[in-house]
Copies of this chain bind each other. A is one copy, B any other.
Amino acid sequence: MNNFVFYNPTRLIFGKGQILQLSKEIPADAKVMLVYGGGSIFKNGVYEQVQTQLAKHQVVEFGGVEANPQYSTLMKGVALARAEQVDFLLAVGGGSVLDGVKFMAAAIPFSGNDPWDLLTGKAKITQSVPLGAVLTLPATGSEMNYYAVISRKETQEKQSMGNPLLFPVFSILDPETTRSLSYEQIANGIADIFSHVMEQYMTYPVNAPVQDRMAEGILITLREEAPKTLANLSDYDSRANVMWAATMALNGIIKSGVPEDWTSHGIGHQLTAYHGITHGSTLAAVLPHLLKVKRENKFEKLLQYGQRVWNLSGTNDEIVDAAIEKTTEFYESLGISTKAKTYGVTAETVTKIVDKFTTRNVVLGERKDVTPAVVQEILALSLA
C-alpha cells in the first residue's frame, strides 16, 4: 500500500426527508446565496422544501448554472454575491451546480485580476466562502470532495480545480429528490460513477485489499442496481444505493493508498470542451478503448476485476478480454455509446486534442505513460 493522507470533513446527511435538517446546518445569521441550475428544482418540489427551510434566513437567488458550468455564467454569480455580500453559498442541484458553487466560493473573495487563474493554478486559493449542498442528481461525487470542473466556451477549455477550502460544510442527499430525473440523466450518472471507480482502481496492484474490495463493492453494486433503477425510476432503495455509491466513489476513501489513472477524464474533458458531450458519455467513449490499449499495463488488475466484478472464468487472457468486453457492454446497456463517432467527434477533433496535449506536455495515466501518441491510439479505436 502507498502512503496517503485521508481527510474529509463534509457532513453527509442522507435519506428520505433529510432536507428538513437544512436550516440547522446554515448559521442563523448567514446571508445565503441559493444557487441552482436550469430550473428542475421548481418542478420536483425541492425549491419549496429549501425555501421553507430558509424562511428565517436572508436569501439571494442565482439560477441558470448549466451542465458543464460556464465560467462566464459563474462570474455573474460572483458579481451578485459580492454586491449582496453573501456569506454562505447553497448549491441546490447536481454536480454542475455544486462545481459552479465551489468555483464561486473561491472566486468571490479572490482579489487578483483574473479568477480563471484559480483554475489554471496561476493563482492560489487562500480563502473561500463556506458552502453547502442539497444534491438532486447522483453522479459526480462533488457533494463530498473539494474538486470542481469548470468550462469556458470561448476558448474551448474545461479545467479542474481542487482545494481543501472547497469541501462542502454539509451535503444533504435525499434519494427522493432524484425521482424526477430522466432515464438519460440516471444512466449518464451511473456511467460517471462507474468511471470514477475505475480511474482509482484499474491501475496496478499495490497490495491494498481493503481499497480494492471497496472499489469492487461499488462496481458490483452499480452492475446490480443499474438495471433495477433504470427499469423502475421510482424504486427508492435502488435510487438510494446508486446515490450512496456515487458519493463513496469519489470521497477519497477508495483512492487512499493506491495509484490513480484519470486518463479517461483527461481525454473526456476535451471531448466535452470541443463537442459539448455529456460528461458520463465522454468517459464511456474513452475507458473501454483505454483498457484495450493499456491491456498489458493493467493486466493483473483487469484479471482481478474480471474475476471479482464480473465472475468470469477461463484462462487469464480470456478473462481479461471478456472483462474489457463486459465493460463496453455495461455502458451500452445504459444506452450510452462507447464510440466517440456516435457523438460527432471527428479525426480533426482528435488532432486538436493531441496537439493541445503535445503543446502543454500533458502525459496521463498511473504510470505517466499515456503520451499524446497513446491518446491518439485510444481515440482512433473510439472513432473506428
B residues near A2, Cβ cutoff 8 Å: 15
Residue A117 at the B interface, CB < 8 A?
no
Specify which chain B residues have a CB less than 8 angstroms from the CB of A248 in the assembled complex: 210, 214, 253
Chain B residues with CB under 8 A of A8: 8-9
**A216: B residues at CB distance < 8 A:** 213, 217
Decide yes or no: A4 and B14 within 8 Å by CB, A214-B214, A221-B210 being known contacts.
yes
Q: Is A11 an interface residue (CB 8 A)?
A: yes
Q: Give the complex CA separation of A138 and B10 in angstroms.
A: 25
Question: A220 at the A/B interface (Cβ < 8 Å)?
Answer: yes
A3-22 CB mask vs B (1 if < 8 Å, else 0) is: 11111111111111110000
Which of B4, B7, B209 meets A224, CB within 8 Å? B209
Bound form: Cα–Cα A241–B208 in Å:
7
**Closest residue of B by beta carbon distance from A225:** B209
How many copies the complex holds: the figure is: 2
| Cα A6 to Cα B1 with chains together (Å) | 26
Minimal beta-carbon separation of A274 from chain B (angstroms) = 35
Q: Residue A237 at the B interface, CB < 8 A?
A: yes
Q: Complex Cα distance A17/B2, Å?
A: 12
Residue of B nearest to A245 (CB): B210
Contact for A209 among B6, B14, B18, B217, CB less than 8 A: B217
B6 in contact with A14 (CB, 8 Å): yes
On whether the beta carbons of B208 and A14 are closer than 8 Å, the reply is no
A16-B4 Cα distance, complex, nearest whole Å: 10
In whole angstroms, how far apart are the Cα atoms of A10 and B5 in the complex? 10
Return chain B residues, CB-CB under 8 Å to A217. 209-210, 212-214, 216-217
Q: Does A218 contact B (CB under 8 A)?
A: yes
Could you tell me which A residues sit within 8 Å of B by CB distance?
A: 1-18, 207-214, 216-218, 220-221, 224-225, 237, 240-241, 244-245, 248, 253, 256-257
